[in-house]
Amino acid sequence: MTDLTDKNFYDTDSELAVKAREGDHGAFEELLEKYQGPIYAFALNFFREPTIAEDIAQETFLRAYRFLGSYDPSRKFITWLYSIARNLCIDKHRERTRSEQVNIEDVPHKLLTTEGFGANPTAALEAKEAREILLQAIETLPEKYKTPLLLCYIDDLPYKEVSEILGVSLNNTKVRIFRAKKMLLKILGFLE
């Protein structure tokens, strides 16, 4: 049993993970409630399909619970959790591309919102169209560039955490995000 008075935990989430590993179901419930939304949002941004995002989020927490024994509490719990979600997204993407080709036009756009534009429907429509174009462009990026871009700009994670989730150096993460932005500019017609 781990000595919880030992301060080698990264944060309170790490401590909760250790408690959950030792059988405290309430501790795992706290982690689930805290991170279910962000993990779902990450998967939703990756696939833009709610049912797949739900499956990914659920499987992420099932795997996290199953593999709590391999979690190192001196590292951030959220980084470990996003790594699981990322790997599941990659596996699902590979599975889908093997079984079918997805047409960008067939992807549902129900999730695009126009909140924050008040009573100006023209601005709301323009923002929705711009967001749709941007999301379609992001979707065409190779996973190597798509994932860091989503983690950094959609999930608002710092570069350091993104590099830990990807398992690459901080410098490599910055390069991938830079290249992703450059690819987007080309896709959108701003660069030749």
Ordered by start, the domain boundaries in the chain are: 1-111, 120-192
Query: Quick one: pLDDT at residue 1?
Result: 46
Q: Token pair 């509490």 is at which residue?
A: 73
17-22: long-range contacts (C-beta < 8 A, 24 or more apart)?
17/68, 17/71, 17/73, 17/77, 18/71, 18/73, 20/65, 20/68, 21/68, 21/69, 21/71
Residues in the chain: 192
| Nearby residues of 188 by Cβ (< 8 Å), 6 or more positions away | 133, 134, 137
Those residues with Cβ within 8 angstroms of residue 63's Cβ, 6 or more apart along the chain or in another chain: 84, 88
Which residue type occupies 123? A
Structure confidence at residue 189 (pLDDT): 78
- Residues in the chain predicted with pLDDT less than 50, given as ranges, are 1-5, 100-117
What residues have CB less than 8 Å from 30, skipping those under 6 apart? 16
- Produce one character per residue of 121-141: b if its CB has 16 or more CB atoms within 10 Å, e if not: eeebeebeeeeeeebbbbeeb
Q: Which CATH class is domain 1-111?
A: mainly alpha
* pLDDT tens track for 52-97: 999 999 999 999 999 999 999 888 999 999 999 999 998 888 887 6
Q: Could you give the CA distance from residue 175 to residue 119 in angstroms, rounded to a whole number? A: 40
Residue with tokens 């709301």: 124
Q: What is the CA radius of gyration of the chain?
A: 19
pTM of the predicted protein model: 0.64
- What CATH number does the domain located at 120-192 have? 1.10.10.10
| Two structure tokens written together for 125 | 């429509």
Q: Terminus-to-terminus CA distance in the chain, angstroms?
A: 59
